[in-house]
Amino acid sequence: MSAGFFVNEALFPHHHSVLPAQRAAAKAQQPCVLWFTGLSAAGKSTIADLVEQGLHRAGRHTYLLDGDKLRTGLNRDLGFSAAARSENIRRVGEVARLMVDAGLIVLVALISPFRAERDKVRALFAAGQFIEIHVDAPLAVAEARDPKGLYRRARRGELRDFTGIDSPYEAPVAPELRLDTAALDPARAAQQVLDWLSGRPLDGAG
Ligand code: ADP
C-alpha cells in the first residue's frame, strides 16, 4: 500500500506568505506533537485526554488525534495488516504535521507498533517537535484491563493481527518520555508529561 508513491511532475506548490513561525507566534506557543505509543489498553487515550485538559486549562491551543476515532473516518479503508498499519501511521503523521504547521500542540494516541514507521513520522518534524511518549504497560497488565474486551477476542482467535498477541509491538528505544502505567495512575502519568513540557519553552516560536 505504501509502495506506490509517485512524484507528479505537474505539481508546482505555491509559495505561501504566512509562515509556520508566524502562526505559532499568533498562538504564543511552540507547536509540537506528543506522540503516545503503546499497547492497546496501556492508557494512551486516557492519559492524552488528561494532558490535553491540562494544556487547555493553561490556555494552549491543542488537538487530540485518536487512532481509533480516525479509523472511523479518514482511515476507515484501512485494516490491520502490516501494510495497512504502516499507511495508518503515515496518514496520522501527515495530519499531525499539518496541524503542527498550523501552530497547534497535537496529541496523538495511536498504538503505532512499528519503530521504523514512528521514526519516519519523526523525520517529518523539525528537531524537538516530535515528542515520543511510550505509554508502557506490560502485556499482562494491559490484558487484565481489557476495557473493550479486545484481548479476550484476540485470544479466542476472533481478532487477527492484534498487537501483543499475534502482531508485534516494538517498544521505542529512546523515547523522550516513558510512562510506567503499571506504577503510575493516569493523573500522575499526565502530570509527568505536563512537567516535562513545562521544562521546555512553550511560549513564542523559538
Ligand atoms: P489505549 O488508548 O492505550 O488503548 P485507553 O486509555 O483507551 O488505552 O484504556 C486504558 C484503560 O486502562 C482505561 O480504562 C483506564 O481507565 C485504565 N487504566 C487503569 N490504570 C491506568 C493507568 N495507570 N494509566 C492509564 N490507564 C489506566
Q: pLDDT digit string (tens) for 126-172? A: 999 999 999 999 999 999 999 999 999 999 999 999 999 999 999 99
Q: Which atom of ligand 1 is nearest to the CA of 48?
A: 6
Q: Under CATH, which number does the domain 26-198 receive?
A: 3.40.50.300
Distances (CA, A) of 183 to 6, 22, 44: 47, 41, 15
Catalytic residue selected from 45, 86, 112, 167: 112
Average pLDDT rounded to a whole number, residues 61-79: 95
Domain-by-domain residue ranges, the chain?
26-198
Q: Tell which wins on pLDDT, 25 or 201.
A: 25
Residue 2 is among the residues annotated as catalytic for this protein? no
138 Cβ below 6 A of ligand 1? no
* Of 145, 188, 191, best ligand 1 pocket probe by most atoms within 8 Å of the beta carbon: 145
Q: Which atom of ligand 1 is nearest to the CA of 46?
A: 6
Query: In this structure, which long-range contacts are made by residues 88-95, counting pairs with CB atoms below 8 Å and at least 24 apart in sequence?
Result: 89/114, 89/117, 89/118, 89/120, 89/121, 90/2, 90/117, 90/120, 90/121, 92/65, 92/67, 92/121, 93/120, 93/121, 93/124, 94/124, 95/65, 95/70
